[in-house]
């Protein structure tokens, strides 16, 4: 009986020995997963209450590659958070777009370090990092801080040198550098004319460049916005036509930082836009005015309802907005 079973026993012994050898050589063990690149930011972005960005006054292309960084004097953008509200304190108290700040912080949160090049460099200039190299700094309410200087692109392309506050030279992806490159204009609200159509009661336009005068009235239906009623100079128009006019007026972005409103009040007044709203059950009227330098008719400066800031808007864009009502009158 044992003789008959001997081949099977020998086979089992061979298999057991083979299995033992395989385990000893890690044949059945999973390969180690490569460690993920460490995060650049270790603090929670919700705790960040200050952002400082030094930007070169040179053109954006030069700033992106840090050309002539040793000779260009940086300018500082400072953003501060009080409670849940962000504001710009430098270079001026420009009205900001909070969504662009959140996008910038999200990009910072997702950034990773793609390797350390040198921990204690004696000469950072070889990495394109100089005394006046732009620096990004974020600080949390508990005092935690991250400072980062962006240097030159690596010879292999697709990555940039950067220096942390502790002096280490690291590598960042080109996408991270692109996402973090920002100046004051990046964070401002570039559309000076705006309101919520659900609150709009009346829009009155009067301009001389081009010559246009019209009044758009709106009766919102809160329960069903599709049932809103609109009239243009007393004639009924469709909901699509009404919102097309308001969109044309609101979608008039500026292409540069605003200036104090007082600087343009000596120009010729070419536009008055009165916006009547119902806010929290109370009526309110906001008035925007357009001012044009007689020597530069390509642009119109729009002053906000508070008469604090003036925004340069293309005259062609405002002409399109003015004529949007004319088109709605013709198609009805």
Phi-psi region of 117 (alpha: psi -120 to 50; beta: other; left: phi over 0): alpha
pLDDT of residue 326: 79
At residue 267, the pLDDT reads 97
pLDDT value for 199: 94
Tell me: the pLDDT tens digits for 281-319? 899 999 999 999 999 999 999 999 999 999 999 999 999
- Region for 233 from its dihedrals, namely left if φ exceeds 0, alpha if ψ lies in -120 to 50, beta otherwise: left
Q: What is the 3-state secondary structure (H, E, C) of the chain?
A: CHHHHHHHHHHHHHHHHHHHHHHHCCCCCCCCCCCCCCECCCCCHHHEEEEEEEEECCCHHHHHHCCCCCCCCEEEEEEEEECCEEEEEECCCCCECHHHHHHHHHHHHHCECCCEEECCCCCCHHHCCCCCCCEEEEEECCCCEEEEEEEEECCCCCEEEEEECCCCEEEEEHHHHHHHCCCHHHHECCCCCCCCHHHEEEEEEEEECCEEEEEEEEECCCCCHHHCEEEECCEEECHHHHHHHHHHHHCCCCCCCCEEHHHCCCCEEEEEEEEEEEECCEEEEEEEEEEECCCCCCEEEEECCCCCEEEEEEHHHHHHHHHHHHHHHHHC
Q: What is the pLDDT, as a whole number, of residue 68?
A: 38
d(CA 67, CA 60) in angstroms, rounded, equals: 10
Contacts of 31 (CB under 8 A, 6+ apart): none
The burial class, CB within 10 Å (0-12 / 13-18 / 19+), for 122 is exposed
**pLDDT value for 322:** 93
What phi, psi does 15 have (nearest 5°)?
Answer: -65, -40
CA atoms of 330 and 120, how far apart (whole Å): 71
Other beta carbons less than 10 A from residue 94's beta carbon: 19
CB-based contact 322:205 (threshold 8 Å):
yes
CB atoms under 10 Å from CB of 215, counted, come to 15
Name the residue with tokens 């026993």. 9
- Please give the pLDDT value at position 327: 66
pLDDT of residue 92: 95
Residue 215's DSSP bridge partners are 204
Would the CA dihedral through 304, 307, 309, 310 be positive or negative?
positive
Averages of pLDDT over each 10 residues, the chain, 332 residues: 57 60 51 72 94 70 38 76 95 95 96 93 92 90 92 93 90 95 94 94 94 95 84 95 95 95 97 96 95 96 97 95 78 50
Q: Determine the longest span between alpha carbons in the chain, in angstroms.
A: 117
How far is the C-alpha of 138 from the C-alpha of 104, rounded, in Å? 11
The pLDDT value recorded for residue 63 is 38
What pairs with residue 118 in β-bridges? 169
């Amino acid at each position: 009986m044992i003789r008959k079973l001997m081949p099977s026993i020998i086979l089992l012994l061979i298999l057991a020995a083979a299995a033992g050898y395989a385990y000893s050589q890690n044949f059945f063990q999973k390969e180690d997963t490569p460690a993920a690149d460490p995060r650049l930011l270790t603090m929670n972005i919700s705790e960040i209450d200050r952002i400082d960005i030094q930007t070169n006054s040179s053109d954006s292309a030069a700033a992106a590659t840090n050309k002539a960084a040793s000779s260009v004097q940086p300018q500082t953008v400072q953003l501060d958070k009080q409670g849940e509200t962000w504001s710009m304190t430098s270079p001026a108290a420009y009205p900001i777009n909070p969504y662009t700040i959140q996008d910038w912080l999200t990009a910072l949160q997702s950034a990773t370090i793609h390797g350390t090049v040198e921990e204690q460099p004696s000469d950072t200039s070889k990495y394109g990092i100089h005394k006046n190299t732009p620096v990004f700094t974020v600080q949390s309410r508990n005092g935690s801080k991250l400072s980062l200087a962006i240097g030159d692109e690596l010879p292999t392309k697709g990555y940039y040198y950067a220096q942390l506050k502790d002096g280490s030279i690291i590598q960042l992806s080109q996408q991270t550098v692109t996402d973090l490159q920002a100046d004051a204009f990046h964070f401002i609200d570039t559309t000076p004319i705006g309101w919520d159509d659900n609150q709009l009661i009346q829009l009155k336009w009067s301009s001389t460049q081009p010559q246009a005068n019209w009044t758009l009235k709106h009766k919102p239906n809160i329960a069903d916005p599709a049932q809103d009623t609109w009239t243009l100079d007393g004639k009924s128009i469709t909901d699509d036509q009404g919102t097309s006019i308001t969109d044309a007026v609101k979608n008039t972005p500026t292409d540069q930082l605003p200036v104090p409103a007082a600087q343009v009040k000596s120009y010729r007044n070419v536009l008055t836009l009165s916006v009547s709203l119902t806010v929290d059950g109370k009526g309110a009227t906001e008035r925007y005015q357009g001012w044009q330098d007689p020597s530069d008719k390509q642009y119109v400066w729009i002053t906000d309802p508070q008469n604090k800031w003036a925004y340069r808007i293309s005259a062609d864009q405002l002409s399109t907005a003015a004529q949007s009502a004319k088109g709605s009158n013709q198609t009805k």
